Amino acid sequence: MEIIPAIDIIDGKCVRLTQGNYEQKTIYNENPLEVAKAFEGAGLKRLHLVDLDGAKEGTVKNWVVLQQIAASTTLSIDFGGGIKQDKDLKIVFESGAAFATIGSLAVKQRDVFVSWLNDYGADKFLLGADVKSEKIAVAGWVETTDIDIYDFLNDYVEQGIQQVFCTDVSKDGKLEGPSIDLYKKIIEQFPSLWFIASGGVSSMDDLYALKSIGCAGAIIGKAIYEGRIQLKDLKFLL
């Protein structure tokens, strides 16, 4: 199972939110590149980089941070937040992202996303599925749709999507453990997907549990920043 640390960016700084609430923000480091280099030094190969300013404003804002990390590390970076137009996508790839992370746009503007999959190749995208009671949530998790997670994933698997990360929004940032039962059901239904768990990871035990059900990867944020998971311990999963 691939361990994928997360760096969330506001004003160029490494932060974490609780359940997507910008009012519940903790700044962990003023220098995201320093954080990324620490991840690389621990033997990690990939990074989940989220532009929270971009997500809020609907256009990519912190692409310079992406550029710096891509130029100064060997990490394979998936970048999301504010990718709404062709120009945003172009900036993200030109700045060094290996994958563009797409969430709400895949729900609200399916035709646009499908055109990108056709133009760039589905292997260049990481599909983000935020879930509340097995329904897709969008708009910073404020809005829950009637779209079933399984129907949503099936549609995009048919369009060629290979990588998906799923966040149970009731778990994110709360360090209460991941949604093992939900993820198990998804993996059983879509065995060919490179499925990445996200949200709620609070301990090494959580990671072992995710590995045991067949997760291809796990995104970890707050648990690392708050010392619940030590980078040196992750080597047992690498």
- Could you confirm whether 119 is annotated as catalytic? no
Q: Is residue 205 over pLDDT 60?
A: yes
Please check the confidence at residue 206 and state whether its pLDDT lies above 60.
yes
pLDDT above 70 covers what percent of the chain? 96
For the ranges 114-123, 152-161, 174-183, 184-193, the lowest mean pLDDT is seen at 174-183
Instruction: Give yes or no: 8 in active site.
Output: yes
Q: What is the mean pLDDT of residues 40-62?
A: 96
171, pLDDT greater than 80: no
Single out the catalytic residue among 53, 78, 88, 130.
130
Chain mean pLDDT for the chain: 93
Helices and strands (H, E) in the chain, number of each type? 10, 12
Please tell me which residue in 8, 51, 78, 172 is annotated as part of the active site: 8
Q: What pLDDT, on a 0 to 100 scale, did the predictor assign at position 175? A: 72
* Domains of the chain with CATH codes: 2-237 (3.20.20.70)
Q: What sections of the chain are H helices per DSSP?
A: 32-41, 52-57, 63-72, 86-94, 104-108, 110-120, 149-158, 180-189, 204-212, 222-225
- In which band, very low, low, confident or very high, does the pLDDT at 173 lie, cut at 50, 70 and 90? low
